[in-house]
Amino acid sequence: MENSILAALPRSELARLEPFLERVHLAIEETLIEPDQPIAFVYFPINCVASIQAIRIGMTEAGLIGYEGCVGVPVWLRQQTTPIRTFIQAAGDAWRMPAGVFRKKVALTSSPMNGLMANYTHSLLVMTSYTAVCNEAHPLEARLCRWLKMMHNRVRENEFVMRQEFLSYMLGVSRPTISIAAARLQRRGWIRYHRARMHILNPEEIERCACACLGLIESTFQRGLAMGAGDTGRNYSSD
């Protein structure tokens, strides 16, 4: 299924849920969750990347969601809405399930997906927490490298669309400031940026330059996925 949560499901459970999954293409800037509006769908990204933003307190990014996860965690937590906006940062495909179906077939049952969703939700909380601290505490170049490597890990390609104004919002700085930082990486031969396309030329050096938040965030996701379906018999979302 090319999404880590779906791929970790037992074959029988995937077969049960597959009729309710639709593969869709998501365009850059497409909004998946509007603040304070009913959440219509849960998405399992394949090769797209979504960005989480708390827009009421600025445009700074709170986290990224790619093939390792799921857009729509509030639905699993039995929430109808959220003040957080989620939109597509890198275009691509995802599996989509109506929120009402997800509640009925997953969240309110003993589906093995509940264990995976619990692991993923914990990892997502770690990401948003460290991202908030990172944006306040670490130098811009280290934060930029952290963001580029996280995108690189999720897109799983060396080239992707990246608009500088988006990146300035994501890291909470001005566009000229981002331009200067990106130019330094380009002079070192680590990236090439031209006409809103980012080419990752030396991912190893970018990873070395990134702040420690990168390793902490990514290792948490890896541990969660390594646990697999784990405690899958428990109904996490019903009392």
Residue 142 is predicted with a pLDDT of 93
| Shared-domain flag, residues 25 and 44 | yes
Residue 59 is predicted with a pLDDT of 61
| Shared-domain flag, residues 89 and 202 | no
Cα–Cα distance, 40 to 24 (Å, whole number): 14
Q: Which residues contact 196 (CB under 8 A, 6 or more apart)?
A: 161, 162, 163, 164
| Shared-domain flag, residues 40 and 54 | yes
Domain assignment present for residue 130? The answer is yes
Domain assignment present for residue 15? The answer is yes
Residue 194 is predicted with a pLDDT of 85
Domain assignment present for residue 153? The answer is yes
Domain assignment present for residue 52? The answer is yes
| Shared-domain flag, residues 86 and 114 | yes
| Shared-domain flag, residues 35 and 124 | yes
| Shared-domain flag, residues 89 and 151 | no
| Shared-domain flag, residues 23 and 111 | yes
Residue 55 is predicted with a pLDDT of 67
| Shared-domain flag, residues 10 and 27 | yes
Give the predicted TM-score (pTM) of the model: 0.89
pLDDT, tens only, 67-86? 999 999 999 999 999 999 99
Domain assignment present for residue 237? The answer is no
- Segments of the chain scoring below 50 in pLDDT: 231-239
CATH number at residue 81: 2.60.120.10
* Listed residues 88, 110, 134: the one ending a domain: 134
| Shared-domain flag, residues 23 and 57 | yes
Could you give the number of structural domains in the chain?
Answer: 2
| Shared-domain flag, residues 14 and 44 | yes
Residue 235 is predicted with a pLDDT of 43
pLDDT, tens only, 186-209? 999 999 988 888 999 999 999 999
Contact (CB, 8 A) for 117 and 79: no
Domain assignment present for residue 111? The answer is yes
Phi, psi (rounded to 5 degrees) for 71? -95, 120
| Shared-domain flag, residues 91 and 46 | yes
Residue 20 is predicted with a pLDDT of 98
CATH number at residue 202: 1.10.10.10
| Shared-domain flag, residues 67 and 151 | no
Residue 238 is predicted with a pLDDT of 38
Residue 61 is predicted with a pLDDT of 78
DSSP code per residue over 136-189 = HHS-HHHHHHHHHHHHHHHH-SSEEE--HHHHHHHHTS-HHHHHHHHHHHHHTT
Question: Which domain, by its residues, includes 152?
Answer: 139-210
pLDDT, tens only, 13-39? 999 999 999 999 999 999 999 999 999
